[in-house]
Amino acid sequence: MVVESSLQKCETYDSMLLLLHTTTWTSDHKQELVEDVVKAMRMGMHIICAHEAPGLGDDTVFQECLPFELMFDVTPTFLSSGDANLYKTIAIPLKGEQRREPGLVLLTDKIAKLPDEPCELSEKLETLLDDKLEQIDEVLRKESLEQDTVETHPTVNPQRPEVPTTAATSHRHQAPPLENDNAGTQAVMIPQQQAAQVASNAHW
C-alpha cells in the first residue's frame, strides 16, 4: 500500500481504503480528508471502508474505535446519505484479538476482488461532487454550526451521544495501525496492480 500525499497525480490509483475511527471525521485535517474522498469519488475510484470496531471486554486493539452507529453523527451529511453515501456498502469491521484476523481476511479479500473498471458516476452525482468540492469550506462550516446548535440545545436531539474529539496526526502521513498503535492512516491509495499483493501480505 502507498499513502499518497496528493490526489493530483493519482491516475495510476483506482481505489481508496478509508479507515473509520473516532478521529477520522473530527481531526484538524477533516477538510483535507473530505477533499480527498470527494476527489477520489469524482475520479471513479472504488472506496472501501474499514471500521475500527469495539470488541468485547479487553480485546479492543485500537483505543479510538467507535460504534458504527455513531459514525453517522460525525460524517459530513452528504457523505453519509444520498448519492454520495459512503456507507451504502457495509464497512468491514476490524475488532481486536481473535476477532481481528477474520476482519482482515474479509478486507483483503474485498481488495483483491475489486473490479478493474472505475466506478460509473451518474450525471447527478458528478454535479453533486463538483458542487461540494467548490464549496467545501462553506459546507463543513455550516455542518459545524449545526452540530454546535445541537450540542448547545440538547432538546433538538436528546439521544445524540457525545463523540470523543482527541487530536490526530494528518491522515496523509500516517502508516496503517500496527498491533496496539493508537493512531492510523485514514485514507490509503491502492494501485490496482498491488491489490493482490495487499491481499496476500496484509499484517496490520
62 contacts 19 by C-beta, under 8 angstroms:
no
Pairing of β 187-191 and β 92-94: unpaired
Name which of 185, 172, 192, 163 is nearest 35 in CA terms.
172
- Residue ranges, the chain, pLDDT below 50: 1-5, 154-184, 199, 203-204
Burial class (CB in 10 A: 0-12, 13-18, 19+), 119: middle
Q: Please work out, in degrees rounded to the nearest 5, the angle formed at the alpha carbon of residue 64 by the alpha carbons of 63 and 67.
A: 110
pLDDT digits (tens, 9 = 90+) for 129-183: 999 999 998 988 888 877 666 555 544 444 444 444 433 333 333 333 434 344 4
